[in-house]
Amino acid sequence: MYRDLLNHKIGNILLYFANEVNPLYFTKAIKLLYILDETSVKEVGAPLTWLDYKVWKFGPVPESIYEEINSVKKENCSCSPLFEYINAEKVQNPFEEEKDAILIKSKDGISFNKFLFSNYELGLLNDISKKYKNFTSKQLVDILHSEGSLWDQIVKSNDIEFSFELNDNRSNFSIDFTKLLKDDPDKQEVYKSANNSLKFERTLNSL
């Protein structure tokens, strides 16, 4: 949603995960990004990355990041701003027999910039890394598919399970984090205020 404003932050988050979770495969990385944002919304009212997570067959996926990093499987690999922070290499995943997996590693000479994050965000990054460090990608997918999850709600309410088979396991539906805040007006206000601040910053940058 605000990739132009938050690429540095997103890049540093992936760099942090690459340093703390080893090995870090791409599927696991994007699940950790989602868990990070969902947890932040639940706890304080706003996500860290403001990524647009699409409802795909294997869980919520930030489509723009998926396309950029997945391009390493092609000879005409496109440049992603995230490659300033991480390297992505096509490999065989021995843990899950996943063909053409992508291994994410920190970029040599690049250090995590903690000054982009609040104390809460740094603590959350640490907590998420420790909690899910030894989970496989499949285990994370299962968690995000659990009964009542945002992914599950959207799939069931829009009856899109069958359409996955017709659309290369994808859909155009997006995760709506505000559903987590419907009973908490204070966190609704936090979300609204953070969103408006980013909109204002984008407007200033365009002048």
* pLDDT tens per residue, range 83-97: 999 999 888 766 655
The predicted pLDDT at position 163 comes to 82
Q: What is the rounded average pLDDT for all residues in the chain?
A: 92
Q: Given pLDDT bands bounded at 50, 70 and 90, which one contains residue 98?
A: low
What is the value of pTM for the model shown?
0.94
What are the angstrom distances between the C-alpha of 22 and each of 9, 104, 113, 134?
A: 20, 9, 19, 9
Q: Where are the domains of the chain?
A: 3-206
The 3-state DSSP class for residue 170 equals coil
Q: Is the preceding peptide bond at 23 cis, omega within 30 degrees of 0?
A: yes
Q: Given pLDDT bands bounded at 50, 70 and 90, which one contains residue 62?
A: very high
> How far is 72 from 203, CA to CA, in rounded Å?
33
DSSP category for residue 63 = H
**Cβ neighbours of residue 70 under 8 Å, at least 6 residues apart?**
26, 102
The predicted pLDDT at position 82 comes to 94
* pLDDT tens per residue, range 8-25: 999 999 999 999 999 999
